Amino acid sequence: MSRILIVAEHLNGKLNSSTARCVTCARELKPDAIDVLVLAEAPDAVAAEAAKIDGIAKVLTLANAANAHALAATYAPQIAAVAKNGYSHVFAPSTTFGKDVAPRVAALLGVAQVSDIMKVIDAHAFQRPIYAGNAIITVQAPADQMLVATVRTASYAAAGDGPNAAPVEAVNVSVELPTHTRFVELAQGKTDRPDLQSASRVVSGGRGVGSAENFAVIFKFADKLGAAVGASRAAVDAGYVPSDLQVGQTGKIIAPELYIAIGISGAIQHLTGIKDAGTIVAINKDGEAPIFEVADIGLVGDLFKLIPELEQALN
């Protein structure tokens, strides 16, 4: 009997789409049940969102003042305690949140962790990328142990809403929470643009944009398309934009329906972050740039001439 527990990712009372993407992955295992665990100080609103996801058996809520902020050190003992109640698998998204909390849960449960599941072979065998996405390996986890894993959310579409909301059940655990970690502050950029990791359209700029001032061209074009804005590591390292916009192996892994790379050469580390995009459009003055090898549509030319022409066409 297999039962999967998915740890919900949420912020400011809103459920992150990464949770619904984990559900899509979990359904490939054909388990007996998929439950979602919401840890928060006041989890009701997030739990109500999670309950709508198709394929969920029930939503478990763990209300605790200590859960007001998503501290992995605080979450992990509680997740591990809930997981011991008959669960065969514990899934978390392969985001900053999941990568922080899942290894701690695995350590507390005394099991190894599988990272970045991109394809399910069976209940204990999965495919995951290695070498910056240049190779895919199959990993086999012990069938006689609980499995803790992170899901590469860019590889899965978010599960939609089901016909009926799943029941919500409050749970309590008796565990000692660590005191060595405390919340200080959350430094979070504010924008009216779509979230980079969940946006259906993304416009990214690279070193070829030339400067932080020139990046205004990227922002303006993205706004025309109703798109999120991303950047290559080279653009971030050059100080054109903050690091939270970085796309790639050491940044955000995304899978938008449309990805437009402007002034980006296409280093393998960047391509790793966009390999699951639906349509890739590249604009670069270097016709030999590696980005054109993966692009569905390529425009060779000066971005400062091509972008205004595209904007005019959109008008």
User: Out of 3.40.50.620, 1.10.8.640, 3.40.50.2020, 3.40.50.850, which CATH number does the structure's domain 3-170 have?
Assistant: 3.40.50.620
Average pLDDT of the residues of the chain: 93
User: Out of 3.50.90.10, 3.90.1150.10, 3.40.50.1220, 3.30.1490.20, which CATH number does the structure's domain 201-314 have?
Assistant: 3.40.50.1220
What percent of the chain shows pLDDT beyond 70?
Answer: 99
pLDDT on residue 148: 98
Query: pTM for the whole thing?
Result: 0.85
SS3 state of residue 41: coil
All CATH 3.40.50.1220 domain ranges in the chain, comma separated: 201-314
Residue 171 to residue 85: CA distance in whole angstroms: 11
Please give the C-alpha separations between residue 64 and each of 68, 75, 91, 171, in angstroms, as whole numbers. Answer: 7, 10, 21, 11
pLDDT on residue 308: 94
Q: Check whether 191 has a pLDDT greater than 80.
A: no
Report yes or no: 99 and 157 within 8 Å, Cβ to Cβ.
Answer: no
pLDDT on residue 189: 67
pLDDT band at 185 (very low <50, low <70, confident <90, very high): confident
Residue 102 to residue 148: CA distance in whole angstroms: 7
All CATH 3.40.50.620 domain ranges in the chain, comma separated: 3-170
Strands (E), the chain: 3-7, 10-11, 14-15, 33-40, 58-63, 89-93, 113-117, 119-122, 125-130, 135-140, 147-151, 168-170, 201-205, 228-231, 258-262, 279-284, 297-300
What is the rounded end-to-end Cα distance, in angstroms, of the chain? 57
CA pseudo-torsion sign 141, 26, 13, 61: negative
SS3 state of residue 268: helix
Read off the amino acid at residue 199.
A
Q: Check whether 68 has a pLDDT greater than 80.
A: yes
